[in-house]
Structure 1
């Protein structure tokens, strides 16, 4: 299909520097018209395509750009009669809620708030074909936009209350750990993993990544990725090779700061108190030494000896509450032969036995304790 070039003249006047990152958009004809990011500097050019030809509804002639988070000041644009420029304001960095339109007239500025999040749309009104455009920007130099990562590497340290021995974590059930991770279905997690169990592995854990404006808004629906890995005796979480930090693939994220959630099959989950940024190639969080690193602090944690903190033990069915249902399951399996995939979740201290210690030291101690990780 013939491409028709259109030159737009856009004037951006800034009181501080702005960045633009282009979002991936699937046009109605099924093609990806633009993706990735553009680096724009003084007199730089942004380019893309919009679909307005056969099979393309006239209601979707739009290209979308993200204005770098934290931008503020005056945003002034001029345009021709064939184009409409829209700035949309969002309350979260995910930009997945209903936006507030920012009214613009050609050559008249809009004021951006650094605490809000914005997109910038170019809409064509009259072109009736698959159309390319080239927009020249002049004025203050723009910084490189923040590229939303497709994967991240987590360097997390966490203790399980049940396996904690005062120094590190016991590995008593190491020989019973299955090659397949047990977390499929946890907040829609799905992963086929076959692994050789490392000698110092304590158990499988699930790491989930969420993107939200605040911890309170980091709901199940803000999940952008998850991966299962091995919790080691020193509290670190590793990939299936037992040595590398865990890599998590991301989908649907718009930024690069994330909340980290940790799940275990019979402990209450916990989440970072704030969004974590990449440093030295890793997203690093230590849940063991400072309760303030965990959302809802000690309400979400078990206090351990030697000024350490851990995930609370006793949630057999992973429903987020340690209660009489968990006690009933323990009673049914008390004294039975241990089976990781059968009754193993009733072994609250991960020693390979189901007995009174599990009930007295963990389930009873933590009765009425609930998960503090936001859900809906």
Structure 2
């Protein structure tokens, strides 16, 4: 635990630019001064800060400061797109088999796959990268981690084996699962986390999730993240303003090899327009992603009129 020592007087001088800070511990046994070019902290022993001191840039709070602790999570989740055409309850790993999975995470952390994780086959073969977040009681994101998603739904660290690790203060957090072209989902209630991996299964429908119809139900039994958020705006939409269909079309027409600008041009690779994660992107033609998007829209429980203009939103707090 960090020590909090008595402070006699605090002078806050000028503005503090972003990124500048003092150490997270202000301590002296007989009277010292800690400073940088912007701030001076004078402190002595024997007298305590009895109230919060702040200006527009900095807050000095009384009390004892808790150190961060390591929390471990072993979540399980499925992707609707990777379950399309699957027959054994396992997601397809076409992206791995076709060598289209990037070694570096597509999310902002930039974590790189290690331990030859992409060479594993069977139930633990890697389907894609995903992202796991933890939120505090106010729904503020306090931890983000890239994860590898296995065919059986297990989310593991970049080594393909270890549980996900977060450094955080406190123990109770909402746990959120995200994917680059699927809608995210989150636990309805905060989960108690600890130094022992906490298992969370989002695939059975027994774990309450935030919002309504937060996940698709595949084959009447498996809960999975909704596919189809090609433009990654938190909305799945086939027709209408800002629809995902146009994003598929733009990807096809904008491909450098599509010199004839054909709507029927297919290409392979790692792309958000690949809704079913088979490594092939098609706007029109056999097994195209546009028809998959249409089927997803028409399958939503609230789309009782089977409207092609129906849309639905990601069930996450702002």
TM-score, length of structure 2 as denominator length? 0.67
Distance 1:345 1:24 in 2: 49
For 2:276, the equivalent position in structure 1 comes to: 349
Q: C-alpha distance in 2, partners of 1:283/1:24?
A: 32
Local SS of the residue matching 1:255: coil
Contact 1:33 1:50 in 2 (8 A): no
Gaps of 5+ in 1: 1-20, 35-47, 64-79, 88-97, 99-118, 123-144, 185-189
Show the counterpart of 2:219.
305
Alpha-carbon separation, structure 2, partners of 1:155 and 1:347: 27
**Counterparts of residues 3-18 of structure 1 (less than 5 Å):** none
- Structure 1 residue 360, shift from structure 2 partner: 2.5
Match of 1:286 in 2: 201
Q: Is structure 2 residue 306 aligned with structure 1 residue 359?
A: no
- Check whether the contact 1:191–1:227 (CA below 8 A) recurs between aligned residues: no
CA apart distance, 1:309 = 0.8
Give, in whole Å, the separation in 2 of the partners of 1:246 and 1:259: 15
Q: Which ranges in structure 2 are unaligned for 5 or more consecutive residues? A: 11-20, 53-58, 253-263, 298-309
Structure 2 match to 1:271? 186
Q: Secondary structure at the match of 2:94?
A: coil
Q: CA deviation at 1:206?
A: 1.1
- Cα distance between partner residues in 2 of 1:205 and 1:152: 19
Contact 1:51/1:60, CA 8 A, preserved across alignment: no
Q: Which residue of 2 aligns with 1:191?
A: 110
- Secondary structure in 1 aligned to 2:226? coil
Match of residue 76, structure 2, among 151, 157, 174: 157
Matches within 5 A, 1:1-376: 30-33=22-25, 49=28, 53-54=32-33, 82-83=47-48, 85=50, 121=63, 148-149=68-69, 151-164=70-83, 165=86, 167-174=89-96, 175-184=99-108, 190-195=109-114, 196=116, 197=118, 198-199=120-121, 200-210=125-135, 212-213=136-137, 217-218=138-139, 222-248=140-166, 250=167, 253-278=168-193, 281-290=196-205, 292-298=207-213, 300-323=214-237, 324-332=242-250, 333=252, 335-340=265-270, 344-355=271-282, 356-363=287-294, 365-366=296-297, 368-375=311-318
Matched residue, 2:301: none
- Asked if 1 retains the 8 angstrom alpha-carbon contact of 2:173 and 2:193, the reply is no
> How big is the shift at 1:120?
5.8
Aligned residues: 254
Question: How far does residue 152 in structure 1 lie from its aligned partner after superposition?
Answer: 2.3
In structure 2, relative to structure 1, the CA distance for the partners of 1:338 and 1:58 (3 Å cut) is closer
The Cα of 1:239 is off from its aligned counterpart by 1.6
Residue 224 of structure 1 aligns to a residue whose secondary structure is strand
Q: Per-residue deviation at 1:62? A: 10
TM-score by length of 1: 0.57
Mapped to 1, the partners of 2:48 and 2:197 lie a distance apart of: 42
Counterpart CA distance in 2 for 1:193 and 1:339 is: 19
| Preserved contact between residue 33 and residue 49 of structure 1 (Cα < 8 Å) | no
| Displacement after TM superposition at 1:55 (Å) | 5.4
Aligned-residue offset at 1:316:
1.1
User: Larger Cα Rg: Structure 1 or Structure 2?
Assistant: 1
Decide whether aligned partners of structure 1 residues 61 and 276 sit closer, same or farther in structure 2, where only a CA change above 3 A counts: farther
Deviation of 1:346 (Å): 1.1
**3-state secondary structure, aligned to 2:281:** coil
Contact (CA 8 Å) 2:186, 2:210: kept in 1 or not?
yes
